[in-house]
Amino acid sequence: MTNADGQVALLEGRGHLLVPAPLPPAMLDAAAKSLDQWLGQAAGSRNLLAHPPCREMAIQLKARLCRKGLLDASSVAVQCTLFDKTPERNWLVALHQDTSIPASADGMPAVIKEGEPYVQPPIDVLQSLLAVRVHLDDCGADAGPLRVVPGSHRAGRLDPDEAQALCAAHGDTVCTAARGDALLMRPLLLHASSRAKSPARRRVLHFLFGPPGLPHGLAWNHMVAGDPPSPRET
Residue 75: pLDDT band by 50, 70, 90 thresholds?
very high
Distance set, CA 49 to CA 53, 54, 76, 116, 222 (Å): 9, 6, 11, 13, 8
What does the pLDDT read at residue 87? 83
Residue 227: pLDDT band by 50, 70, 90 thresholds?
low
What does the pLDDT read at residue 101? 98
pLDDT tens by residue, 158-188 = 999 999 999 999 999 999 999 999 999 999 9
Whole-number Å distance between alpha carbons of 219 and 227: 21
Q: What are the sequence ranges of the domains in the chain?
A: 3-212
pLDDT tens by residue, 17-31 = 999 999 999 999 999
What does the pLDDT read at residue 91? 82
Alpha helices in 40-183 (DSSP H): 52-67, 123-126, 160-170
Alpha helices in 88-182 (DSSP H): 123-126, 160-170
User: What does the DSSP 8-state code read for residue 119?
Assistant: B
What does the pLDDT read at residue 198? 82
What does the pLDDT read at residue 197? 87
Residue 36: pLDDT band by 50, 70, 90 thresholds?
confident
CATH topology of domain 3-212: Jelly Rolls (2.60.120)
What does the pLDDT read at residue 229? 59
What does the pLDDT read at residue 233? 59
Burial of 221 by CB count in 10 Å (0-12 exposed, 13-18 middle, 19+ buried)? middle
Residue 40: pLDDT band by 50, 70, 90 thresholds?
low
For range 112-123, the mean pLDDT: 95
Q: Flag whether pLDDT at 43 surpasses 80.
A: no
Whole-number Å distance between alpha carbons of 42 and 191: 24
What mean pLDDT value characterizes the chain?
Answer: 91
CB 28 within 8 A of CB 197: no
Return the percentage of the chain with pLDDT > 70, whole number.
93
Q: Flag whether pLDDT at 38 surpasses 90.
A: no
DSSP 198-220: S---EEEEEEEEE-SS-STT-EE
Least confident of 47-51, 118-122, 123-127, 164-168: 47-51
